[in-house]
């Protein structure tokens, strides 16, 4: 038997620490009141131990990645994916994701290549704005021509050392255990390429898409290209945005970006396709939880209403099932859990809501009116939920 490498041993330690944390949290929930403060302290100290181990594990992965040619980072693909050791149910009639070998021409190997793609994108956005002029009440910070010039000429497309570290760490966190073996193989075959772009690019893209706020990152489907705005200075927020865009990419490879679907109890398939609010909410939820589990605390939660809706779905259906649905697009198990808890038809009605705010209002209403009332107060103490509730919804 081969001796286990340093990164493998660190990963073992990471898993053991995660198990201890889970047990500590479980203990805290069931412990009688006099023991609870001590159980809380155990959970807290295990969490901080886990962060140290994760940092070490990431360091180990970074060392390994820099010592190996890139192809050696590719995880072996298996015909059937699994999450947390459990197979992902197959779904034959709808998209089961995009193989990274499907987009040879748009799979970028370097920041320079991806920057050329940024220029293409800017031209496409400008064309769109030419064809569909902005509504009269839409305010740009500068004349469009000036924004376009800035977006083309002033991007800091180069990687900072810190951003390179972020992309490497996030790619390490998205391992076979997190993504499942098949998706991990696809992801490893075409790792994400990050470009740092002028804030002007995001402003004109947001204008073309019709939203006035937000938007400091982008993932470009059918590529491995993720972007972040140079305007984001906070290191934790940069990590979270890069994680968010990278998770869009992973979900694109898995089928979760545009292939949302489920089977009913009789096995009849329904294709939902792309449900923007649900996909954004699940993406931000997973990004927040991923970076926080590795010791990074962002200062804000994007898409608060969408993220809260995704968070409650996750509490009802479970983290492994929800992550598998997010990445693969197959919501059969999530739908089953939601309907079992909140009544038949709940998931279908939820999936037909138009936006995150409506979805959240609908889901909270159903939880509060459920035959066995869903007690949200414990869930709402979660830091992501707390911050999201404190953020104004768009
Ligand atoms: Zn997004």
Which pLDDT tens digit goes with each residue over 242-289?
999 999 999 999 999 988 999 988 888 888 888 999 999 999 999 999
Same domain? 356 vs 390: yes
Rounded to the nearest angstrom, the distance between the alpha carbon of 276 and the centre of ligand 1 is: 9
End-to-end CA distance of the chain: 56
**pLDDT confidence bin for 130, thresholds 50/70/90:** confident
Asked if 120 and 193 sit in the same domain, the reply is yes
> Rounded mean pLDDT of 112-125?
88
| 306 CA from centroid of ligand 1 (Å) | 11
For Cα atoms 36, 41, 44, give the angle at the middle one, nearest 5 degrees.
Answer: 125
* Beta carbons of 162 and 58 less than 8 angstroms apart: no
Does one domain contain both 215 and 317?
Answer: no
Domain encompassing residue 24: 6-69
191 and 275 in one domain? Answer: no
For residue 111, the model assigns a pLDDT of 87
Residue 248 belongs to a domain:
no
pLDDT of residue 152: 86
Give the HSE-up count for residue 116: Cα atoms under 13 Å, Cβ half-sphere.
Answer: 8
Residues 208-253: pLDDT tens digits? 887 766 689 999 999 999 999 999 999 999 999 999 999 999 999 9
- Same-domain status, 65 and 136: no
C-alpha–C-alpha distance, residues 225 and 32, integer Å = 50
- Average pLDDT of span 200-212: 83
Question: How close is the Cα of 342 to the center of ligand 1, in Å?
Answer: 28
**Ligand 1 (single-atom ion) residues, CB below 5 Å:** 280
Residue 247, domain member (yes or no): no
Q: What is the mean pLDDT of the chain?
A: 83
> Treating both helix axes as pointing N-terminal to C-terminal, what angle do 161-173 and 276-293 enclose, rounded to 10 degrees?
100
Q: 335 C-alpha vs ligand 1 centroid, how far in Å?
A: 23
Domain shared by 133 and 220, yes or no: yes
Do 183 and 229 lie in one domain? The reply is yes
| Residue pLDDT, tens place only, 16-72 | 766 666 666 667 667 777 777 777 677 666 666 655 565 565 556 555 544 544 333
Query: How many angstroms separate the alpha carbon of residue 208 from the centre of ligand 1?
Result: 16
**pTM (predicted TM-score):** 0.76
Distance 281 CA to ligand 1 centre (A): 8
**By the 8 A CB rule, do 151 and 121 touch?**
no
Q: Would you say residue 82 lies in a domain?
A: no
What is the token pair recorded at 77? 């693909």
221 within some domain: yes
3-state helix, strand, coil in the chain (%, to 5): 60, 5, 30
Residues 315 and 196 occupy one common structural domain: no
| Residue 347's pLDDT band (cuts 50, 70, 90) | very high
Is residue 138 assigned to a domain? yes
Query: Residue 280 C-alpha to ligand 1 middle, in angstroms?
Result: 5
Between the CA of residue 263 and those of 124, 327, 343, what are the distances in Å? 37, 17, 17
Whether residue 259 sits in one domain with residue 314: yes
Q: C-alpha angle 366/372/374, rounded to 5°?
A: 55
Mean pLDDT in residue range 89-99: 62
Question: What's the total number of domains in the chain?
Answer: 3
Residue 137 pLDDT class (50, 70, 90 cuts): confident
Do both 310 and 201 map to the same domain? no
pLDDT digits (tens, 9 = 90+) for 106-118: 899 888 889 888 8
β-pair partners for 217 = 228
Instruction: Tell me if 388 sits within 8 A of 289, measured CB to CB.
Output: no
The vertex-220 CA angle with 350 and 217, nearest 5°, equals: 80
Residue 249 lies in a domain: no
- Whether 76 has a pLDDT exceeding 60, the answer reads no
Distance 205 CA to ligand 1 centre (A): 13
Other CB atoms closer than 10 Å to residue 159's CB: what's the count? Answer: 17
Residue 68 phi, psi (nearest 5): -110, 150
User: Is 339 found in the same domain as 266?
Assistant: yes
Residues 229 and 263 in one domain: no
Match 């002007």 to its residue by tokens.
200
Is residue 93 one of the residues assigned to a domain? Answer: no
Is 60 exceeded by the pLDDT of residue 91? no
């Amino acid at each position: 038997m081969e001796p286990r490498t340093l990164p493998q041993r660190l990963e073992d330690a990471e898993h053991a620490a995660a198990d201890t944390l889970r047990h500590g949290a479980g203990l805290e929930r069931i412990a009688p009141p006099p023991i609870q403060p001590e159980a809380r302290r155990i959970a807290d100290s295990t969490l901080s131990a886990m962060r140290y181990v994760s940092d070490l594990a990431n360091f180990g992965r970074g060392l390994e990645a820099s010592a190996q040619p890139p192809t050696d980072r590719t995880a072996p693909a298996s015909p059937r994916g699994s999450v947390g050791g459990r197979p992902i149910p197959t779904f034959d009639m709808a998209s089961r994701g995009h193989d990274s070998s499907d987009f040879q021409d748009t799979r970028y190997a370097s920041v320079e290549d991806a920057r050329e793609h940024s220029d293409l994108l800017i031209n496409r956005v400008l064309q769109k704005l030419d064809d569909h002029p902005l509504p009269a009440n839409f305010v740009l910070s500068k004349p469009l021509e000036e924004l376009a010039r800035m977006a083309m000429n002033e991007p800091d497309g180069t990687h900072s050392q810190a951003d390179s570290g972020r992309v490497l760490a996030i790619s390490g966190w998205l391992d076979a255990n997190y993504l499942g073996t098949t998706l991990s193989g696809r992801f490893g075959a075409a790792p994400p390429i990050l470009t740092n772009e002028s804030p002007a690019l995001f402003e004109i893209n947001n204008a073309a898409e019709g939203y006035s706020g937000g938007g400091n990152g982008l993932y470009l489907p059918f590529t491995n290209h993720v972007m972040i705005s140079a305007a984001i200075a906070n290191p934790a927020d940069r990590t979270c945005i890069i994680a968010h865009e990278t998770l869009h990419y992973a979900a694109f490879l898995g089928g979760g970006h545009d292939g949302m679907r489920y089977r009913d109890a009789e096995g009849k398939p329904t294709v939902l396709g792309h449900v923007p609010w649900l996909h954004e909410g699940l993406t931000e939820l997973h990004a927040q939880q991923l970076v926080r589990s590795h010791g990074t605390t962002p200062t804000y939660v994007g898409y608060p209403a969408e993220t809260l809706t995704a968070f409650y779905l996750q509490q009802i259906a479970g983290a492994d099932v929800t992550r598998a649905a997010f990445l693969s697009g197959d919501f059969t198990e999530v739908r089953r859990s939601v309907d079992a808890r909140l009544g038949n038809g709940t998931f279908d009605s939820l999936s037909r809501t138009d936006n995150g705010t409506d979805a959240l209002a609908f889901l909270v209403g159903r939880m509060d009116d459920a035959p066995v009332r869903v007690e949200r107060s414990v869930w709402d103490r979660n830091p992501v939920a707390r911050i999201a509730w404190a953020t104004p919804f768009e």
